[in-house]
Amino acid sequence: MSSPLKAIICGYEKSGTTLLNEILRRHPDMDSGFECGFLLGDSPQDFPGIQPYYGNFRKTWQLTRQDMHYICNTDDWQECYARARERCPFIADKTTGLFDKTPIYMLHLNAVLNKMPQLPCVVNVRDPRALFLSWARWSWQENPEQWINDNFEVNCRRFISYAEGYRQALASHGDRIIVNQFEVFCLNAEKQLEKIFNHLGLLFDPDYLYFSSRHFVYGNTISDEYVFPYREAFSNELCERILTATEKYSEWHYHA
């Protein structure tokens, strides 16, 4: 219980990981920055060579080069997180628990969880139609449907590779993993968050739903506005093509 890292948050990019990040930070016994990425290496000493995560971590956690050298100069994962907590200027309570929110961990989830035995993990997922649209907009595409059609196989491989990373981890670590589906998260926020907080060993307070975002989150609470964004952006033909290509993971296809 004295170890600083208490939970791992991962999932598809644009599936609500940052939103969950802001809500978890409202709990008095939990804190974090934007993203970490330490566990992509075999040791904290590997982290300086893992880009862009090293650079992004240093920037968003507001750390100096000297801080980063101190944090990474250990082979002990929990010591690494303890040093990050110690040096991070906006984490006021230097005894608080930390969580590591890094979406790409989902791709390597079995290896990540092997490095941190017993820690609970939340995997964020979302309907692939909404994810594909968000990825297109994230790439600043003026015509998302055309971009998706032009890059269809690449986006399918991205979706499926993350899903396979999750499924591979289930055999060894299924009792440590809870899935947070974005659509359920938005439409049944309190009930879903109670499950997540319980999985993490925390008590949930409905006040946590309202926050002042340090990072890129729309608004200051959960909204159902982003549940079906593809209905106006994609043709029915493209929607069906996406669903067919990702049918193996149809449990994440959301139908109202």
The SS3 assignment for 152 reads: helix
pTM of the model: 0.95
Q: What is the DSSP string of 14-66?
A: TSSHHHHHHHHTTSTTEE--S---GGGSSSGGGGGGSTTHHHHHHHHTT--HH
The tokens describing 228, both together, are 């079906």
**CATH topology assigned to domain 104-252:** Rossmann fold (3.40.50)
What radius of gyration do the chain's Cα atoms show?
18
Say which residues have a Cβ less than 8 Å from residue 42's Cβ, sequence separation at least 6. Answer: none
- E-only strand ranges, the chain: 5-11, 30-31, 97-101, 121-125, 177-181
Separation CA 213–CA 194 (nearest Å): 21
- Beta pairing class for 97-101 and 30-31: parallel
172-193 burial by CB neighbour count: b if 16+ within 10 A, else e? Answer: ebeebbebbbbbbbbeebeebb
Give, for all 256 residues of the chain, the pLDDT tens digit.
Answer: 468 999 999 999 999 999 999 999 999 999 999 899 999 999 999 999 999 999 999 999 999 999 999 999 999 999 999 999 999 999 999 999 999 999 999 999 999 999 999 999 999 999 999 999 999 999 898 899 999 999 999 999 999 999 999 999 999 999 999 999 999 999 999 999 999 999 999 999 999 999 887 776 777 888 888 899 999 999 999 999 999 999 999 999 999 7
- What is the CB-side half-sphere exposure of residue 172 using CA atoms within 13 A? 15
- What pLDDT shows up at residue 219? 77
